[in-house]
Amino acid sequence: MTRKKPRELEERRCLDILRQLSAYIDDELPEDVCAELRRHFGACPNCEVFVASLRDTVKLCRQHQPPALSTYDRARLREQILLAWKPEARS
């Protein structure tokens, strides 16, 4: 059995943390989970910087309204999205 190196374990932990970030930033996690995440951020500078950057991005996105699209642009955009998600387009 191969033992994982401490660095590999920490990277795996960071990935687990990143999977929960959206719920964390939106205050959707239980307090005990939030406390665990905050402990990790305090010990992991990379995650701490990433979370701060993500919080700033979310804040900016919430402050600005998207531009209004014309009926033509909205229909064109919808058509392009549907075309992109067809199974043959993803192959």
pLDDT at 65: 84
Are 54 and 21 within 8 A, CB to CB?
Answer: yes
List, for the chain, all residue ranges whose pLDDT scores fall below the cut of 50.
Answer: none
pLDDT at 80: 94
- The label of the residue with tokens 């990790």 reads 40
Q: Return the H-helix or E-strand segment holding 52.
A: helix 45-63
pTM of structure: 0.55
Q: Return the H-helix or E-strand segment holding 68.
A: none
pLDDT at 5: 60
60-73 tens-digit pLDDT:
988 988 889 999 99
pLDDT at 91: 53
Are 62 and 56 within 8 A, CB to CB?
Answer: no
Percent helix, strand, coil in the chain (nearest 5)?
A: 75, 0, 25
